Amino acid sequence: MLDRRHILAALGTTALAALAPTALFAATSIKPDDTSALLVIDVQNCFLPGGSLAVKEGEQVVPVINKIAKAFSNVVMTQDWHTPGHVSFASVHSGKKPFETIDLPYGKQVLWPDHCVQGTDGAALSRDLAIPHAELIIRKGFHKDVDSYSAFLEADGKTSTGLAGYLKGRKIKRIFVAGLATDFCVAWTALDARKAGFEVYVVEDACRGIDTQGSLAKAWADMAKAGVKRIQSADIAVSA
C-alpha cells in the first residue's frame, strides 16, 4: 500500500523542496535563545558616511542590526577606542600612507587614517542604533602600541579584553556577529570567538567590508575554514 511516508520517500528531497518551500524555510530559521548573544561591532561615526574611515554602504547595516537585535535577549556592542597618535594610524609613521602596512613587534599592521579617537564624536556609536537593551559596551584598541580588531584578543595575540570571560560567565554559547568592518573587526572577532569555543554565526547582510588588498575574500575564506557559519538576517526568526 502506498501511504504518505512511501510517497514522500519516492519523491525524494528535491521534489519535496519544490512542493513545500515554506515548511523547509521554517525549519532552517534560527531562533536565538538565552544562551545566544548578538555582538554589534564598531557601528561608529568614523566608519559611517562622512567618517574618517568610512566603510562603503556602512550605514546600510544599521536598520538590519536594529531589526535582528529584537530577537536577542543578550546584545553586546563594541567601540574601536584609540589613543591620539595610536600605532595603527599612518599619520604617526613618517613616510607612510593609509592602507600601507608596516611590521610591528606583534606582526603585520595595516595603517589607517586617524579614526575612533577616545571621547571624540567620530568614536561615538551611531545615533541611529536603536538597541536600548544592549547590556555591555566593550572598548578595544585603547593601548597606544597595540591594535585590536578583535573584541576578544588584542593584536599581540595574548592580551584579553575580558569579553570571553564575560560571555562564559553569562552562560552564552552561541554568538552572532554583525557590524563593521566584515574583513577586519567582524572577522577577527568571529575567528577569536571560535578559538574561545563558541558556536559562531556572521550575519552577512548586517555587515559591510573595507576590502583592501583582497582582505574581504580572505576573511570569508578564513572564517569558513574556522567553522564560522555565514548567514543572512532573514535566517533569524524575529517575531513582530
Which partner from the list Zn ion, ligand VGL, none does 181 bind, CB cut-off 5 to 8 Å by kind? ligand VGL
- Nearest CA to 70 out of 224, 197, 239 is that of 239
**Cβ 174 to ligand VGL shortest distance, Å:** 22
| Catalytic residue IDs | 42, 140, 185
- Applying CB under 5 A, among 59, 80, 114, 183 the residue interacting with Zn ion is 80
Q: Which is nearer to ligand VGL, 79 or 233 (CB)?
A: 79
Query: Residue 59, interface with ligand VGL (CB under 6 A)?
Result: no
Cell 510517497 found at:
7
**Kindly report the CA angle at 175 between 201 and 53, in degrees rounded to 5?**
75
Residue type for position 102: I
The piece of 30-38, 78-86, 170-178, 213-221 that touches Zn ion (CB under 5 A) is 78-86
Query: Residue 153, interface with ligand VGL (CB under 6 A)?
Result: no
CA atoms within 13 A on the CB side of 128: 14
Query: Residue 42, interface with Zn ion (CB under 5 A)?
Result: no
**Kindly report the CA angle at 176 between 135 and 240, in degrees rounded to 5?**
75
Q: Which is nearer to Zn ion, 36 or 78 (CB)?
A: 78
Q: What is the DSSP string of 91-131?
A: GGSTT--TT-EEEETTEEEE-B-S--BTTSGGGSBPTT---
**Cβ 93 to ligand VGL shortest distance, Å:** 15
Which partner from the list ligand VGL, Zn ion, none does 180 bind, CB cut-off 5 to 8 Å by kind? ligand VGL
SS3 49: coil
Q: Which is nearer to ligand VGL, 21 or 49 (CB)?
A: 49
Instruction: Give the gyration radius of the chain's Cα atoms.
Output: 20
Query: Residue 220, interface with ligand VGL (CB under 6 A)?
Result: no
CA 27 to chain centre: 25
Query: Residue 181, interface with ligand VGL (CB under 6 A)?
Result: yes
Query: Residue 42, interface with ligand VGL (CB under 6 A)?
Result: yes
Q: Which residues bind ligand VGL (CB under 6 A)?
A: 42, 80, 112, 149, 180-181, 184-185
